Amino acid sequence: MPRAFTPKVITANALIEGDVIYLTANDDWTRDLARAEILTDEAHAELRLIEASQRHHEAVGVYLADVAKGDKGPEPTHFREDFRRTGPSNYAHGKQEERV
Amino acid sequence: MYRYNDFDADFVAQRNRQFRQQVARRIDGSLTEDEFKPLRLMNGLYLQLHAYMLRVAIPYGTLNSAQMRQLAYLAERFDKGYGHFTTRQNIQYNWPKLPDVPDMLDALAEVEMHAIQTSGNTIRNVTADHFAGAAADEIADPRPVAELLRQWSTDHPEFQFLPRKFKIAVTGSPNDRAVIKAHDIGIQVVEQDGRIGYRVLVGGGLGRTPMIGKELADFVSQQELLPYVEAVVSVWNLLGRRDNKYKARIKITVHEHGIEQIRGLVEERFKETRAAFNGADLAIFEQIKPQFAPPAFRNAPTDAFDRAYEADPVFRSWADTNLAQHRAPGYAIAQISIKAHGQTPGDATAEQMRVMADIASEFGHDELRISHEQNVILPHVHKSDLPEIHARLKAHGLATANIGKISDIIACPGMDYCALATARSIPVAQQIATRFDELKIENDIGDLKIKISGCINACGHHHVGHIGILGLDRAGVETYQITLGGDHTENAAIGQRTGPGFGYDEIVPAIERLVGAYLEHRTDPAETFLQTYRRLGMAPFKAALYDSEQSRVAAE
């Protein structure tokens, strides 16, 4: 029996800066995971992935990442995506720097 | 040190111009990422977890002050104020933006540096003993040969699309500080009947299948070295597995075919390559050698050193721990730890880089080295200058007296930066260093090498750590496996796994229990952790790690 499709977001790195980015429902790229579009339908997710992958002048390495629905939007379910969301542990760089 | 000739300068400038155009075409959409990726990798530009990463080669770890200052400039102008020195004597910038990279490469070219072949399936930066040209135990400076190999391998048309990356290390001393047995080719300068030649090892490497290199030839003359090395790479280029990247390294080829068959094939191929070398390599070698002539050492009293050593315990501790024996009377090799307790191993700020550059130009014959252990070396300092050098280092957080100690940890960037990593390394290293600093037992523990990798590729050399730590993803949780008994020296050995891994919050207490077991079981303070492990084997350490009752006792 195939595994049930779990919620996902589309993520990549920005072409110019390299920052971790996510696709919103409005077809914008955001640096904030909370603003990312949550994809709950597998066929729709595949279509959105194909569309996003064609935007190679904006994004690099587009893929679907697992998330869970949280109170404030999508939340990572794996520590790698959590680190991608926050930035490195050793300095307040990346996303943490922007928040400061 | 080696200075670029016109050919070198033109070659690098041309490559930079070419790459600038490629970046422009990527940004304007003329190139897709699939088309651009191999081009950026040929110039050392990766895309990592949070940003691009530019890896810059520091050939055989040698730098002058101007080069170090330029690395500081790059850190400040194009990064976030720091650079990361790696186990392959490179420096990595973790936050460049794509449009800035051509400017970074031009700035590097101004001081005769580049990022060519710091990525891709090609011959990577040739590394060497960080004490080269200075060590008291040295037979000959390994850097002229390393430079010859660098020139030969750079843009070598046959070796740009090898089965996998290829790493060569050279040592000029019988005491191996270049980890030659964990390289694809390890070269050791040897003397036989008054003649200088080279012992050649092959098939070492860490990663998912760690192996110790095997001796291919016990003596290769200077005349034969380059055609011999070319024969080795050429044989592997044909035999190497291209069907499976995990089996593509030469260590697997040597393992699958056996060293005798490889030796036979190399000797057969050597007959062909030898004939193709017309002596140009020897002529180039003779031009390279004088560029590595030792500096003019001065003959001066060392009273200032002796007085400071007697009067200042902080200086004495630093001198005892961080200095190494120099070949010239009155001189020392000073090792600058860039691993202050709690800091990221291998990171130096732009300010720290400038301080080290200033000290090198004022007191150190304008030379610096980067060690594979992620520290910076002043290879030639007169002992009378050491109190002043120490004071300046101390003022900038660079005088930590921990070289070779438990907090002198090698750690790869891990999942804080690296796209390949499966767990974090840096915070584990930071926590271990901080914990043992709090316990104030670092000096009592003595020599102990902890090496941490954030994935199976083993950039942190965990297999050859006395205590090795490997970070893995186990069902979505960061988990750390421990190995014991690894050795990176001429007696190289691969560490043995202790058993099940530990969670992120459990790994530091586990290391504390291991060290507690060592302190309990050593015969006297002169017996190192590694000696105790070799005498007793795994059992007492395993008990300390996994047996709750003994763990409790060891922890008390």
B280: its two tokens? 């140009």
Question: Could you tell me if residue A2 is inside a domain?
Answer: no
Question: Could you tell me if residue A89 is inside a domain?
Answer: yes
Question: Could you tell me if residue A95 is inside a domain?
Answer: yes
pLDDT value for B548? 63
Question: Could you tell me if residue A65 is inside a domain?
Answer: yes
pTM equals 0.96
Instruction: Check which CATH number belongs to the domain holding B519 and give it.
Output: 3.30.413.10
Question: Could you tell me if residue B320 is inside a domain?
Answer: yes
Tell me the mean pLDDT in the region B374-403: 98
Question: Could you tell me if residue B245 is inside a domain?
Answer: yes
Whether residue B278 sits in one domain with residue B342: no
DSSP-assigned letters across all residues of A16-39: TT--EEEE-TTS-EES-GGGSPPB
Q: Which domain holds residue B546?
A: 410-555
Rg of chain B (C-alpha set) = 23
Chain B residue closest in CA terms to A88: B416
Residue B99 CA, chain-centre distance (Å), reads 29
Q: Which domain holds residue A88?
A: 8-99
Give B8-47 pLDDT, tens digit per residue: 999 999 999 999 999 999 999 999 999 999 999 999 999 9
pLDDT value for A100? 57
Which chain A residues have a beta carbon less than 8 Å from that of B29? 56-57
Cβ contact, residue pair A79, B476, below 8 Å = yes
Q: Which of B33, B80, B426 has the CB atom closest to A60's CB atom?
A: B33
Whether residue B386 sits in one domain with residue B270: no
Report the number of distinct structural domains present in chain A.
1
Which range, of A20-34, B453-467, B536-550, averages the lowest pLDDT?
A: B536-550
B241: its two tokens? 């597995």
Give A4-60 pLDDT, tens digit per residue: 999 999 999 999 999 999 999 999 999 999 999 999 999 999 999 999 999 999 999
Question: Could you tell me if residue A75 is inside a domain?
Answer: yes
Whether residue B476 sits in one domain with residue B508: yes
Whether residue B524 sits in one domain with residue B436: yes
The mean pLDDT value of chain B amounts to: 96
User: Which one of B228, B263, B292 terminates a domain?
Assistant: B292
CB count in 10 Å sphere of residue A79: 17
User: Which one of B365, B395, B425 terminates a domain?
Assistant: B395
Cβ contact, residue pair B478, A79, below 8 Å = yes
Question: Could you tell me if residue B135 is inside a domain?
Answer: no
Question: Which amino acid is it at B308?
Answer: A
Question: Could you tell me if residue B120 is inside a domain?
Answer: no
Q: Is ipTM strictly over 0.90?
A: yes
pLDDT value for B261? 98
Question: Could you tell me if residue B22 is inside a domain?
Answer: yes
Whether residue B225 sits in one domain with residue B102: no
E strand or H helix at B381, and its extent? strand B376-382
Question: Could you tell me if residue B98 is inside a domain?
Answer: yes
Cβ contact, residue pair A80, B415, below 8 Å = yes
B268: its two tokens? 């057969």
User: Which one of B326, B360, B395 terminates a domain?
Assistant: B395
Report the number of distinct structural domains present in chain B.
4
Whether residue B87 sits in one domain with residue B160: no
B60: its two tokens? 């055989």
Whether residue B201 sits in one domain with residue B338: no
Whether residue B353 sits in one domain with residue B420: no
